């Protein structure tokens, strides 16, 4: 990435549904694969469950973000809606939280896109809208990276990236030993020099793992060695060392996996912000950004500090960035 880039991350806003569901209840509803004890042992507690569809969470979150930063809807040149679950990018009909269209007009249901609905609802009349998919948990980070590039290319003033996911009723909430929450998180990019600087984003895609069911055993074996290499590569490309990083801001996969990755990489667990895993669960693609906002709000990092954000998305994608607050 060009170190002289004027693009900055100006703000983050997130929405977590208030409804919290415990592990026992999830298990009783058949939404876990492992036992509640195992999930608790892995560091999980409650998960958040939305009562509105992803598109509603997304637009409310973007609206609040723009208002907070005094950005007029018409000033936004790019909106990227980066949802993980295919159902989250479609606007459901009727009362459904999420639906995969069926029936006579199913074909048209497949074109009820959330990104354009958000543009319409919020009056983002100058925003080109993009729906980003198939990136699993790196969706929002990839969206920020792409928005950064498009802003430079198109000379845009503002771009907004949003991720919102709501798990359809009845579907498992345990994904490869992680308890998933519904959430939305939006990131505002601008040219305001006061914002945070995305200094490096290293990504890696290993298409072999496209089938998380069929190749899960290999994936479990590759997860830590690959994570270690991605992290090391990011340090190398950024010219920074472990000591230069104030905090590693993770995605909320199991605390256990962070304990192990911490040992593989030599980054002490105390330097990894894992406090949100138990109360908030794994918000699929939003965790890194939710956690980044929280560590800033809690004063755990200050202006000028470097943080590293690491995430892994089924597919499989690894994404690791360094942001200067």
Partner 1 sequence: MNLLMTGITGAVGMEMARWLAANAPRARVFALIRAASPVVLKARWSKLAAKLWPEGQRPEEGRFVPVLGDITRPGLGLSPEDAERLAGEVTHVIHSAANVELDAPLEEARLCNVEGTRHVFEVVRTFRRLERAAYVSTLFVAGRRPGLFRETDFEHEAGFVNPYEQSKYETEVYVRGLMKELPLAQFRLAYLIGRDTGEVTRYNSMHALLRLLHEGHVGAFPGTPETLMELSSNDYAAAALLTLFREHFQPGRTFHIGSGARGLPLQDFIDISAEVSAETEPRWRQGAFLPPDIVDEDTYTLLRRTLLQTQNKKSHEVIRLGDTMYGHLTASQVFDCQPVQELLGERVPLPPVRELLRDVLRHCMATNWGRNRS
Q: Which residues sit at the interface with partner 1, rule CB under 8 A?
A: 33-34, 38, 41-42, 177, 206-209, 216-218, 220-226, 228-229, 256-257, 259-260, 263-264
CB 300 within 8 A of CB 119: no
Q: Which is nearer to partner 1, 158 or 177 (CB)?
A: 177
For partner 1, which is the closer residue by CB, 38 or 133? 38
Smallest distance from partner 1 to CB 155, Å:
37
Nearer to partner 1, 34 or 116 (CB): 34
Residue 214 CB, nearest approach to partner 1 (Å) = 12
Cβ distance to partner 1 smaller for residue 194 or 213? 213
Nearer to partner 1, 117 or 202 (CB): 202
State the nearest-atom distance from the C-beta of 267 to partner 1, in Å.
Answer: 13
Compute the half-sphere exposure of residue 279: CA atoms within 13 Å on the CB side of its CA. 9
Q: Whole-number minimum distance, CB 25 to partner 1, in Å?
A: 21
Separation in Å, CA 216 to CA 176, 210, 223: 8, 10, 10
Minimum separation from the CB atom of position 252 to partner 1 (A): 17
Q: Tell me how far, at minimum, the Cβ of 26 lies from partner 1, in Å.
A: 17
**Closer by beta carbon to partner 1, 13 or else 173:** 173
Q: How far is the CB of 199 from partner 1 (least distance, A)?
A: 25
Q: Where are the beta strands (DSSP E) in the chain?
A: 8-15, 20-21, 47-48, 76-82, 128-132, 158-165, 174-175, 178-179, 183-190, 197-205, 245-250, 306-313, 317-324
Task: List the beta bridge partners of residue 76.
Answer: 158
**322, 292 Cβ separation under 8 angstroms:** no
Q: Looking at beta carbons only, is 43 or 77 nearer to partner 1?
A: 43
79 vs 90: CA distance, rounded Å: 16
Among the listed residues 103, 101, 123, 104, the one whose alpha carbon sits nearest the alpha carbon of residue 113: 101
Integer Cα distance of 92 and 105 in angstroms: 13
Measured CA angle at 181 (ends 225, 298), to 5 deg: 80
């Amino acid at each position: 990435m060009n170190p002289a880039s004027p693009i900055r991350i100006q703000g983050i806003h997130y929405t977590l549904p208030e409804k919290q569901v415990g592990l026992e209840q999830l298990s009783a509803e058949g939404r876990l694969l492992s036992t509640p004890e195992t999930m608790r042992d892995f560091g999980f507690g409650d998960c958040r469950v939305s009562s509105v569809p992803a598109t509603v969470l997304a637009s409310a979150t973007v609206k609040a973000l723009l208002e907070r930063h005094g950005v007029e809807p018409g000033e936004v040149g790019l909106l990227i809606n980066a949802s993980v679950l295919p159902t989250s990018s479609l606007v459901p009909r009727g009362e459904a939280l999420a639906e995969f269209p069926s029936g006579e007009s199913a074909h048209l249901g497949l074109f009820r896109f959330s990104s354009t609905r958000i543009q319409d609802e919020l009056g983002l009349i100058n925003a080109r809208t993009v729906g980003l998919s198939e990136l699993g948990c790196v969706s929002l980070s990839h969206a920020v990276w792409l928005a950064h590039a498009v802003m430079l290319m198109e000379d845009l003033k503002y771009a907004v990236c949003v991720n919102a996911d709501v798990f359809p009723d009845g579907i498992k909430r345990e994904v490869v030993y992680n308890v998933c929450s519904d959430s939305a998180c939006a990131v505002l990019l601008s040219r305001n020099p006061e914002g945070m600087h995305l200094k490096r984003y290293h990504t890696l895609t290993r298409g072999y793992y496209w089938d998380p069911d069929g190749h899960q055993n290999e994936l479990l074996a590759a997860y830590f060695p690959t994570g270690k290499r991605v992290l090391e590569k990011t340090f190398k490309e950024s010219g920074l060392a472990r000591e230069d990083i104030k905090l590693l801001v993770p995605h909320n996969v199991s605390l256990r996996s962070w304990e192990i990755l911490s040992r593989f990489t030599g980054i002490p667990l105390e330097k990894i912000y894992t406090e949100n895993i138990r109360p908030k669960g794994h918000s699929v693609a939003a965790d890194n950004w939710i956690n980044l906002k929280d560590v800033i709000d809690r004063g755990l990092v200050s202006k000028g500090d470097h943080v590293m954000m690491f995430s892994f998305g089924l597919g499989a994608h690894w994404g690791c960035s360094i942001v200067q607050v």
